[in-house]
Structure 1
Amino acid sequence: MNDIADSTDMDVPALLRNAPSSVEFKKLRKRLLRQAREAIGDFGMLPADASQDNKPKWLVCLSGGKDSYTLLAVLIELKWRGLLPVDLVACNLDQAQPGFPAHILPQFFEENGIEHIIVREDTYSIVTDKIPAHRTYCSLCSRLRRGILYRVAREQGCEAIVLGHHRDDILETFFMNLFHGGRLASMPPKLINNEGDLLVLRPLAYAAESDIEKFSNGMRFPIIPCNLCGSQDGLQREEVKRMLQGWEKANPGRLGVMARALGHTRPSHLLDRSLYDFVNLRPAEGSSAGASGDAEEPCGASLAMTAKLFAAE
């Protein structure tokens, strides 16, 4: 990838002209661009025939939080560099929350010359009417929001809605499902909606939340806090987030290892009979003891412990 352009270069998109010029920030910016490119490529987010003459259209969803601002900035830079042949339309859904600063995002889009659409739908009243005050609003709020965004994407002729979920969100969802849902599942970087006519993409799937926060702070994005869901205490997701952050603090790099594990599953070493035919698994007649096969591997924890013991000697 070419070196990060100087902020004085007038060819740079307006959103990026005030980006910090420090070496550290340039490295961070490159890392986010590289990770987004990898996710887009690894999961085939672009159609095979996408080109500057044949560009799909993406609806980039902005909430006003650090993640969605960073997503938009990364996609705009990739497009500017000729690495993302896509037409981008930024979209904010104003959910009519009391005190929501409705002027911030339209002003941000206008100042930076970003094609956008603002949609106002009073989902706040629906959520607060249907859900008791002591219960979390997230599930219903998310379903309502997603349905509206699907409708807007169709109206705008988009083939995908693009969300700012990152690596840590994906890990949190995995542990939420593990602890509370009794299943191994998370947020895929790419999926298709139930109707089968729209993609849902997460290009920041490889990006760490800590990097996104540093990037957002450096860019001085006008953050809009969530006063509906985020203000509720005792959310199970927040408990999982604290747990994961504690693991990362005690063992730096732990979240990266766990994220890689989500891409390296072995159905034969789990318990899901729909993914692996355990019933008909039998030793082959005449096979030797040393023949290769899907043999049981040593536990990763025991391997790590053994390596640590030998390193100490």
Structure 2
Amino acid sequence: MSTLFVSHPCCLDHDTGPAFPERADRVRVIERTFEGEIFQLLQRECAPELDYGALTRVHPESYVEQIRKAVPEEGYFELADDVVLSPGTWEAISHSVGGVVVAVDEVMRRKVTNAFVAMRPPGHHAETARAMGFCFFNLAAIAARRAQAAHGAERVAIVDFDVHHGNGTQEIFWSDKSVLYASTHQFPLYPGTGASEERGAYDTIVNAPLPENAGSRMFREAMSEKILPRVEAFAPDLVVISAGFDAHRFDPIGALHLEVADFTWITNELMEIADRRAKGAVVSVLEGGYDLIALSRCASAHVQTLMGA
């Protein structure tokens, strides 16, 4: 089993200012963690620059240009609540999209079994033409559309275990029967979407909201009873993971109180489905995770599982 790790130094230049939870140190701690001996066999690639076509399959050109033109020459520009741009933001965005594209290409061409893309800013709150919740462009959605457009994937499943609901991913695929979006998340919590009744135009949206302090048992039950069977039945050609680690019990933003072992477990469960349905094809993209120690431990467990370590 071969696993690809995709990142780029420019994602550190997306400066969100002091005391902002979505910060460059998130990727720094992941990269330091992956210097360990157990990750010696991890394949590594620098994320290439923007694939404009991959981006505009999900987001309209007018919106893309709005974001690009809003990038300040110096200082900060607050586009919306919790959406901050700095002079390095556009290059970080550019390579984030490029990183997702190369990960999908390598996995779908069977050059690697699976991939983890550790770039920022994250993406699952970004709607078709709306930035919010630290997110500008939806990387999981870009991955799905790339697999379909460039590699003939008929069905893609996106599984999101971030503590927050991926409203952007849900909105983008609400009326698309070729993409299944499934999410566990704390509810109620930002952004306020993700009720179990939200099922999409073709019943391809699967929400499993969890209460505060849900813990491991409720998380695993929700995945086992509501989400994993739907992913299996959908028979995807690719499984995309929105890998948010802010559901960990140490995270300052959420309160689901998961353990590192829960991320190992769900990664393994999704890999088993991918083995049966998608020739093992999994692309994981970093979403949340704001306690640096918890983030490093969870990302380590996630990628070790992808590697079969």
- TM-score, normalising length from structure 2? 0.38
Which of structures 1 and 2 has the bigger CA Rg? 1
Higher strand share: 2
